[in-house]
């Protein structure tokens, strides 16, 4: 139950203050309700869930000692 609630919050644009209904021809647009999270945060979450977001490689990690930061 809790897992499904979290999944809904992370994947449904309505929680970011947006609405859409593709089957009715309504594209993604700002709704008239208050958002729980910002749309920017929603987009970042979608990128991560879809495997598009990657952390940049750290430049302070040596090849000789990968667990030690310079």
Q: How many other C-beta atoms can be found within 10 angstroms of the C-beta atom of residue 16?
A: 23
Q: What is the DSSP letter of 23?
A: G
Is residue 68 a part of any domain in this protein? no
Q: What is the mean pLDDT of residues 42-60?
A: 78
What's the confidence (pLDDT) of residue 13?
A: 93
Handedness of CA 21, 31, 10, 48 (dihedral sign): positive
Question: Does the pLDDT at position 6 exceed 90?
Answer: no
Three-state SS at 42? helix
Is residue 41 a part of any domain in this protein? yes
Is residue 66 a part of any domain in this protein? no
Is residue 39 a part of any domain in this protein? yes
Percent of the chain whose pLDDT exceeds 70: 74
Is residue 10 a part of any domain in this protein? yes
pLDDT in tens, 38-48: 999 999 989 88
Average confidence score pLDDT of the chain: 83
Cite the DSSP H helix spans in 12-62: 39-49
Q: What is the mean pLDDT of residues 53-66?
A: 65
Is residue 27 a part of any domain in this protein? yes
* Structural domains counted in the chain: 1
Strand segments (E) across 2-65: 18-21, 26-30
Q: What is the mean pLDDT of residues 13-31?
A: 94
Its domain, for residue 29, covers 2-49
């Amino acid at each position: 139950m809790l897992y499904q609630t979290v999944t809904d919050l992370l994947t449904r644009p309505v929680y970011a203050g947006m609405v859409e209904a593709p089957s009715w021809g309504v594209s993604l647009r700002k709704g008239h309700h208050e958002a729980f999270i910002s749309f920017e945060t929603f987009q970042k979450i979608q990128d991560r869930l879809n495997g598009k977001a990657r952390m940049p490689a750290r430049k302070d990690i040596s090849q000789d000692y990968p667990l030690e930061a310079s």
